[in-house]
A and B are shown apart, each in its own frame.
Chain A
Amino acid sequence: MAGRSDTPAAPVDALLASREMILVAGSGGVGKTTVAAALAANAATHIGGRVLVITVDPARRLADALGIGALGNVAIRVPDEAFVEAGITPHGELWAAMLDTKAGWDELIRRHAPDAEVREAVLGNPLYQNITSRFVHSHDYLAMEQLHELHSSGEYDLIVVDTPPSRNALDVLDAPGRMKDFFGSRLLRWLTVPYRSRLFTAASKPFYQVADRVLGSRFLQDIAEFFVLFQAMESGFVRHAEEVEQLLGDHRTAFVVVSTLEAAPTHEAAYLARELGRRDYHLGAIIANRVLPSAFTRPAAATSARALAGAVESDLADEVAVRLDADPDVTGGVLAEIAARFHDVAVVANREAERRAELAEQTSIVLTAPALDRDINDVADLLALADHFRSDDT
Chain B
Amino acid sequence: MTGKGGVGKTTVAAALGHLAARSGKRVLVCEMDAKDALAAAFDTGPLEFEPREVEPGLFAMSMNTEDALREYLRLFVKVPFLGRIGPLARTFDFVADAAPGVKEILAVGKLCYEVRERHYDLVVVDAEASGHIVAQIGAPKVISDLVQVGLVRDQTEWMLDILTDPHRTGVVVTTTAEEMPVTETLDLLARLVDETGVRASTVVANRVLPALFDRRQSEVVDRLDEVEDLLVEAAGAAVTIVVDAARTTEARRRVGAGHLDRLRGGLADGTDVLYVPELFTRAAGRRVVKLVGDALAAEIDLDHHDPHGHDPHGHDPHGHDPHGHRPDGSVG
The answer to whether B128 has its CB under 8 Å from any CB of chain A is: yes
Are A334 and B239 touching (Cβ within 8 A)?
no
Question: Are A304 and B235 within 8 A (Cβ)?
Answer: yes
Partner of B98, one of A223, A308, A331, A348: A223
**Contacting pair A210 B146 (CB below 8 A):** no
CB neighbors of B among A326-343 (8 A): 326-327, 330-331, 333-334, 337-339, 341-343
Contact B213 A373 (CB under 8 A): no
**Residue of A33, A293, A301, A374 contacting most chain B CB atoms (<10 Å):** A301
Q: Answer whether residue A222 sits at the interface, using C-beta atoms and an 8 A cutoff.
A: yes
Determine if B282 is an interface residue (Cβ-Cβ < 8 Å).
Answer: yes
Of the candidates B6, B152, B221, B252, the one whose C-beta lies within 8 Å of that of A334 is: B221
User: A351, B282: Cβ atoms under 8 Å?
Assistant: yes
Residues of A within 8 A of B146 (CB): 126-127, 130, 219, 222
* Band of interface residues on A: 35 or more
Q: Which residues of B contact A134 (CB under 8 A)?
A: 100-101, 135, 138, 142
B131 at the interface (CB under 8 A from A): yes
Minimum C-beta distance from B151 to chain A (A): 5
Enumerate chain A residues within 8 angstroms of B235, measured Cβ to Cβ: 304-305, 307-308, 310-311, 339
Q: Please report the C-alpha to C-alpha distance between residue A337 and residue B132 in the assembled complex, in whole angstroms.
A: 43
Please state if B280 and A308 are interface contacts (CB–CB under 8 Å). no
Q: A337's contact among B129, B217, B234, B237, by CB below 8 Å, is which? A: B217
Minimum CB–CB distance from A225 to chain B (whole Å) comes to: 12
Bitwise, A164-206 to B at CB < 8 A (1) or not (0) is: 0101000000000010001001010001000000000000001
* Neighbour of B150 across the interface among A33, A167, A215, A337, CB < 8 A: A215
What is the minimal beta-carbon distance from B13 to any residue of chain A, in angstroms? 13
Q: Assess whether A156 is interfacial by the CB under 8 Å rule.
A: no
A264-B6, A300-B236, A305-B242 known; A57+B147 contact, CB < 8 A? no
Given A136-B132, A167-B128, A304-B239, A218-B149 contact (CB < 8 Å): yes
Given the complex, which residues of A lie within 8 Å of B181, measured CB to CB?
29
Min CB distance B95 to A, Å, is: 7
> For A331, what are the chain B residues with a Cβ–Cβ distance below 8 Å?
220
- Determine if B226 and A323 form an interchain contact, defined as CB atoms under 8 angstroms apart: yes
Decide if A342 touches B251 in the complex (CB within 8 Å).
no
Return chain B residues, CB-CB under 8 Å to A227: 98
Shortest CB distance B220–A (Å): 5
Q: What is the bound-complex CA distance between A219 and B105, given in angstroms?
A: 15
CA of A311 to CA of B35, assembled, Å: 49
A373 touches B248 (CB 8 A): yes
Task: Give the chain A neighbours of B241 by CB distance below 8 A.
Answer: 293, 295-296, 298, 300-301, 304
A320 touches B77 (CB 8 A): no
Instruction: Across the interface, name the chain A residue whose C-beta is closest to B132.
Output: A136
B217 touches A344 (CB 8 A): no
| A-contact bits for B147-184, CB 8 A (1 contact / 0 none) | 11111110000000000000000000000101111010
CA distance A27 to B129 in the complex (A): 11
Beta-carbon contact of A324 and B226 below 8 Å: yes
Distance of B301 from chain A, by nearest CB (Å):
26
For A210, what are the chain B residues with a Cβ–Cβ distance below 8 Å? 73, 77, 79, 88
Residue A303 interfacial (CB < 8 Å): yes
Number of cross-chain contacts by CB at 8 Å: 234
Residues in chain A near residue B82, CB distance under 8 A: none
Q: What is the bound-complex CA distance between A30 and B284, given in angstroms? A: 20
Give every chain A residue within 8 A of B183 (Cβ-Cβ): 59
Q: Is A292 positioned at the interface, with any CB of B under 8 Å from its CB?
A: yes
- Say whether A115 faces chain B, with CB atoms less than 8 Å apart: no
| Inter-subunit contact B230/A187 (CB<8 Å) | no
Contacts of B216 in A (CB 8 A): 327, 330
Mask, A6-46, CB within 8 Å of B = 1, is 00000000000000000000011110010000000000000
Closest Cβ of chain B to A388, distance in Å, is 15
A92 within 8 A of B: no
CB of B78, distance to nearest CB on chain A (Å): 10
Known A28-B5, A210-B77, A300-B236; 5 more pairs at CB < 8 Å = A130-B100, A137-B97, A262-B6, A327-B216, A348-B280
Q: List 28 A-B contacts (CB under 8 A).
A: A28-B5, A29-B180, A127-B100, A135-B98, A167-B128, A182-B97, A185-B94, A187-B95, A191-B95, A215-B99, A216-B147, A216-B152, A223-B98, A265-B6, A300-B237, A303-B236, A304-B242, A323-B226, A324-B226, A330-B217, A334-B220, A337-B213, A338-B221, A344-B280, A348-B280, A351-B282, A374-B251, A375-B179
- Listed in ascending order, the chain A residues whose CB lies under 8 Å from chain B are 27-30, 33, 57, 59, 61, 126-127, 130-131, 134-137, 165, 167, 178, 182, 185, 187, 191, 206-207, 210-219, 222-223, 227, 260, 262-265, 268, 292-293, 295-296, 298, 300-301, 303-305, 307-308, 310-311, 316, 319-320, 323-324, 326-327, 330-331, 333-334, 337-339, 341-349, 351, 371, 373-375
